[in-house]
Amino acid sequence: MPNFMTRDGTSIRYKELGEGRPVILIHGWPLSGDSWDAVMMALADNDMRAVAYDRRGFGRSDHAPSGYDYDTFSDDLADLIGYLELTDNIGVAGFSMGGGEIARYMSRHGGKGVTAAALISSVVPYMLKTDDNPDGVPQETFDTMTKGMKDDFRAFFTGFFEDFYGVGGPGTQVSEEERHWAWLTAMKSSQYATLQSAAAFASTDFRPDLPHFKVPTLVVHGTNDQTVPIDATGRAVAEQVEGATLIEYEDEPHAVFATVTDRLADDLVDFFSNN
């Protein structure tokens, strides 16, 4: 797979499929761009050029010693766009923490070249529960996650992926092999990057970035998302971004890219074909 070099010298792995209108896909924590494979094939089958990359510290990208903040993440996205010489009519889709890259790119880089954006189970606009964000996740929950990762990194993710995929919940169930793939992928990440990235998505307030969404915006979120609660995120974006379209997947958990793959692919193909 090809790599590109970021402005701070980090090597980032990416892959492409198809030809036509470019759509860049940004993965969630703690996975890799491979989580987008099925969606990439659907986009390619519908005359689009799908591009997915591994965030620094994850997948096959460099385990960089720094840069696990959203300013740097958005710079990495800008560097990919520049490397591929994309200038206009770019679609972007971010899953979970990947939505943060898009939000910060829209503000920090003026959304250069982007003409449509999709936020899937996204952490935008603000995950942390505060007095002015009462539907957010309590700090104690993030503290428990951090302790779990530090105490036994490998055991932590066995339990984490049960909520991530909604095991035993009302939504669509995935195979044990799918969860095993996710665990193996997480084990290939840098533990430092995993911890630092968790702190970034838990604490970054993207509400100031929302006014910079000046393009058609699709929001997709499962109503039974126990990882990124819909009230603090998907529904809040739909209320605050003018003209945003919200599609709620009834009873589905966080990992909609795996639980309702075909539906998500169809919704993204439809959105990027018409915006």
Query: Quick check: is 225 catalytic?
Result: yes
The domain spans of the chain are 3-274
Q: What is the mean pLDDT of the chain?
A: 98
- Per cent of the chain over pLDDT 90 is 100
Is a pLDDT exceeding 80 seen at residue 10? yes
- Residue 243 is predicted with a pLDDT of 93
Closest C-alpha to 4, from 91, 98, 89, 75: 75
In this predicted model, what pLDDT tens digit does every residue of 119-177 receive, in sequence order? 999 999 999 999 999 999 999 999 999 999 999 999 999 999 999 999 999 999 999 99
Find residue 117's DSSP bridge partners: 92, 217
Among candidate residues 32, 189, 254, 267, the one labeled active-site is 254
Among candidate residues 32, 61, 74, 96, the one labeled active-site is 96
CA dist., res. 139 & res. 127, Å (int): 10
Is a pLDDT exceeding 90 seen at residue 272? yes
- Residue 230 is predicted with a pLDDT of 98
In this predicted model, what pLDDT tens digit does every residue of 42-87 receive, in sequence order? 999 999 999 999 999 999 999 999 999 999 999 999 999 999 999 9
According to CATH, the topology of domain 3-274 is Rossmann fold (3.40.50)
Among candidate residues 54, 209, 225, 267, the one labeled active-site is 225
Query: Quick check: is 254 catalytic?
Result: yes
CA dist., res. 166 & res. 150, Å (int): 24
pTM over 0.85: yes
Query: Quick check: is 27 catalytic?
Result: no
CA dist., res. 13 & res. 59, Å (int): 8
- Residue 98 is predicted with a pLDDT of 98
Q: Read off the pLDDT band of 1 (50, 70, 90).
A: confident
In this predicted model, what pLDDT tens digit does every residue of 172-228 receive, in sequence order? 999 999 999 999 999 999 999 999 999 999 999 999 999 999 999 999 999 999 999
